[in-house]
Amino acid sequence: MGETDANNFHTSAPSRLSTPERRVISGVLWIALYLLFTLLPLAIIGLGPTPAPRGVWREFSVALGFVGLAMMGLQFVLTARFRWLNAPYGTDVMYAFHRHISLVATALILAHPGVLLVVDTAETLRRLNPLTPPWAGRFGVLSVVCLLALIATSVWRLRLRIPYETWRRAHGILAVAAVSFAIFHILLAGVYLDTPLKRILWLVYSLAWLGLIAYVRLIKPFWQVRTPYRVVSVAEERGRSYTLAVEPEGHAGMRFRPGQFAWLTARDSPFAEHEHPYSISSSAEHPGRLQFTIKVLGDFSEDLRTARPGERIYLDGPYGALSADRYPDARGFVLVAGGIGITPMISHLRTFADRRDPRPVVLFYANNNWDEVTFREELERLPAWMNLKVVHVLTTPPEGWTGETGYVTKEILAKHLPADRDDFLYFICGPGPMMDAVEAALHELGAPVGSMHAERFNLV
């Protein structure tokens, strides 16, 4: 009876709203809604009196075009950083899906003229010739050219040596152009939107995408300008890193979960879209002062290092699913960090220490050498406040080093993992190859797939 009462109490507790089961349900629901919204254009053109059928292959090609365009339009939803949409998957996965599904959408869109070229080569070539009418054909070609430029500059951005900011601005412009030209292509072709009702529904549907762009590029930056943060200090850390501490200026700031991150804009307007994602490294118990520990890796991080107290910065966040607070039932945690991947982990450790959380935590922390171990001294102190075991793994250890060396291997994990680790969760953050290797090793050691959580910071 007592146990039943306890369960009932737990069921009615507010935290139940963010339990893993609920996230799975909403995760599946969003996928179903995604399918529904991509098929909506077919429902719109199928409304009421429909145009005469034009042969199965031509109809198939048209359907692929409509569906492909809907997928392109929905990309604006995926990247609008809606928290309720990102929560079940994590922001990194949302961006990964954005990349994967863009290739599928492009294939469907290219199949639209592709199928027409096969079934009616001469007529299709005439329509696709930009030097001759119709305008519908010209807009279709323009849309595909923008789309191909969009994909090429994204897939080969590094190879083409396109700076991140330039790419990001061009990405937005090309995306809007590709979708807008495609909308004109459909309106001018006019065959399938043959009644006022269909034209109105189609316009409402496509304007919703453009409304999202206004939300992301205008409304959100406007909100960020209204809620600025002030730099309090910049402190050097080990491992070519520094900690930037900021406080909200004239507003309540943001509450976050340990392990989450925010997009940071400095020395520029939020409207400039010149922002970078950084993990919050401070304790979630002190949301009034946020800390970001940043490794100097490029121009932005180098420049930010010279920030002066009082300087204004802007934040968009918090985001990210790599947080122990999403799993209140976990009995313990294994954290695996590589280099600056320590930042979401130190946020966890500081939060746990502040809360005097008694659950066991094992931290595997891989670095190149002992001098570069960010938060080294603090990690020595933290076990006084919480149940923490730290395992340092160094690729280039100093003389006389008795700890672990090399990479975080299955053997090293097996040696230090607690024997009783049922209902433990595993969080991994570091370079991509390390995360792949650690995930595989943990899986071989019996960690269930659902218990491993990794966040990849190459979001873009």
Partner 1 sequence: MRHRMSKFVAAMIGTLLVLFSALFALGRSG
Q: How far is the CB of 9 from partner 1 (least distance, A)?
A: 32
Q: Minimum CB separation from partner 1 for residue 360, in Å?
A: 24
CB of 353 to partner 1, least distance (A): 28
**Nearest approach, Cβ of 83 to partner 1 (angstroms)?**
18
Least distance from C-beta 459 to partner 1, angstroms?
Answer: 12
Length of the chain: 460
Q: Which of residues 139-198 bind partner 1 (CB under 8 A)?
A: none
Restricted to residues 74-93, the positions that interact with partner 1 (CB under 8 A) are 89-90, 92-93
Q: How far apart are CA 330 and CA 447, in angstroms?
A: 13
Q: Are 134 and 183 a contacting pair, CB within 8 Å?
A: no
Amino acid at 364: F
- The verdict on 205 binding partner 1 (CB under 8 A) reads no
The answer to whether the bond into 134 is cis (omega within 30° of 0) is yes
119 contributes a contact to partner 1 by CB under 8 A:
no
Preceding omega of 221 cis (within 30 degrees of 0): no
* Selected binder of partner 1 within 96, 117, 187, 234 (CB under 8 A): 96
Near partner 1 by CB under 8 A: residue from 77, 101, 177, 210: 101
In angstroms, the CA 243 to CA 394 distance is: 23
Q: What is the CA angle 229-222-245, rounded to 5? A: 15
Pick the binder of partner 1 from 103, 160, 218, 272 (CB under 8 A): 103
246: helix, strand or coil: strand
10 Å CB burial of residue 450 (0-12, 13-18, 19+) is exposed
Judged by beta carbon, residue 43 or residue 235, the one nearer partner 1 is 43
| CA-closest candidate to residue 112, choices 124, 123, 102, 103 | 124
Distances (CA, A) of 217 to 159, 223, 270: 28, 11, 9
Structure tokens at 383: 């076990």
Q: Can you tell me which residue has the tokens 């570091």?
A: 430
Which range of residues in 61-69, 262-270, 363-371, 387-395 is near partner 1 by CB under 8 A? 61-69
Residues 7, 55, 160, 211: which binds partner 1 (CB under 8 A)? 55
404 forms part of the interface with partner 1 (CB under 8 A): no
**List of residues 6+ apart from 269 with CB closer than 8 A:** 221, 225
Judged by CB under 8 A, which of 67, 85, 382, 429 binds partner 1? 67
Determine the size of the site formed for partner 1 (CB under 8 A).
38
Is residue 29 close enough to count as binding partner 1 by CB under 8 A?
Answer: no
The encoded tokens of residue 417 equal 């993992």
Identify which of residues 59 and 247 has a Cβ nearer to partner 1 in the complex.
59
Instruction: Catalog residues that contact partner 1 under the rule CB under 8 A.
Output: 31, 34-35, 38-39, 42, 46, 50, 53-57, 59-60, 62-64, 67, 71, 89-90, 92-93, 96-97, 100-101, 103-104, 107-108, 439, 449, 452-454, 456
